[in-house]
């Protein structure tokens, strides 16, 4: 399924929806460490790109533009109330473009959280994290060094090939990305990152403030590219706090 409920909210009409966009080689189900720390009444939606991992029945997205088209089409019917979007790494880049598109349709979220990816710049596509031509063992060694695969994955040949193939496909999407200059987002934006992330160092993360009229700060935790899974409770608290602050402000507005 392209969009699915990661959690089952308590109550019939959840007051708020959080959309999660996954990193390259992953799935929205990878956000599991954050889920126990989110409000039980929230609806949490996972949005996975098609044709990846075990989903072989549908055609995969080959470019970032195709991925954003897919996400817009899949999510539009689900966005019937207040919502927020949080993306990690590749998911953050796609989340940014998704929100740009939804703003143009007057369907913007109350908040966007981008994690572990530098802001887009003009003059070329995004740099893929690892060469797409690497063999499976080298792709997994690289990803494991960033904290993105469990130990032992490389010893299970079928799983290793599946993860490596998925990562290569996602890196093709990332490498295709071309930023088109435009006005800053109207949506409030928070930046999350690891203080020691070699792919998204803090000095680059802080430049996200140029892409929104409502910057809500750059929040850093100890760790590398997958810092958030070591600080799940604190990261979730920061996310929830930002959303609740904005929702309270909307209710207080005349």
The DSSP annotation for 153-201 comes to GGGSHHHHHHHHHHHHHHHHHHHH-B----PPBSSEEEEEEETT-SSS-
Work out whether strand 43-47 and strand 3-5 pair parallel, antiparallel, or are unpaired: antiparallel
Paired with 88 in beta bridges are 115
Cα dihedral sign, 177-182-184-185: negative
Is the model's pTM score more than 0.75?
Answer: yes
CATH 3.40.50.1820 fits 3-126+177-252, yes or no: yes
How far is residue 44 CA from its own chain's centroid?
A: 13
Alpha carbon 200 to its chain's center: 14
pLDDT category of residue 2 using cuts at 50, 70 and 90: low
**pLDDT for 145 beyond 90:** no
Give yes or no for residue 18 having a pLDDT over 60: yes
Angle at 41 between CA 76 and CA 97, to 5 degrees: 30
| Residue 121 pLDDT greater than 90, yes or no | no
Give the C-alpha separation, 82 to 37, whole Å.
20
């Amino acid at each position: 399924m392209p969009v699915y409920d990661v959690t089952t909210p308590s109550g019939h009409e959840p007051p708020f929806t959080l959309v999660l966009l996954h990193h390259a080689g992953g799935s929205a189900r990878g956000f599991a460490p954050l889920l126990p720390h989110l409000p039980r009444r929230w609806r949490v939606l996972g949005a996975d790109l098609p044709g990846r991992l075990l989903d072989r029945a549908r055609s995969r997205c080959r470019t970032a533009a195709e991925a954003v088209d897919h996400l817009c089409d899949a999510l539009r019917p689900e966005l019937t109330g207040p919502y927020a979007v949080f993306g990690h790494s590749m998911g953050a880049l796609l989340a940014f473009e998704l929100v740009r598109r939804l703003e143009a349709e007057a369907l913007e979220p109350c908040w966007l959280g981008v994690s572990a990816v530098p802001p887009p710049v003009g003059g070329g596509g995004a740099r893929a994290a690892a060469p797409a031509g690497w063999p499976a063992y080298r792709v997994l060694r690289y990803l494991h060094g960033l904290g993105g695969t469990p130990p032992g994955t490389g010893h299970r040949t079928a799983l290793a090939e599946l993860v490596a193939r998925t990562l290569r496909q996602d890196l093709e999407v990332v490498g295709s990305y071309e930023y088109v200059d435009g006005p800053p987002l109207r949506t409030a934006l928070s930046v999350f990152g690891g203080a020691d992330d070699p792919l998204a160092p803090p000095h680059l993360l802080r430049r996200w403030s140029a892409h929104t009229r409502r910057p809500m700060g750059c929040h850093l935790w100890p760790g590398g590219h997958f810092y958030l899974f070591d600080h799940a409770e604190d990261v979730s608290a920061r996310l929830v706090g930002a959303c609740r602050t904005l929702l309270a402000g909307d209710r207080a507005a005349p």
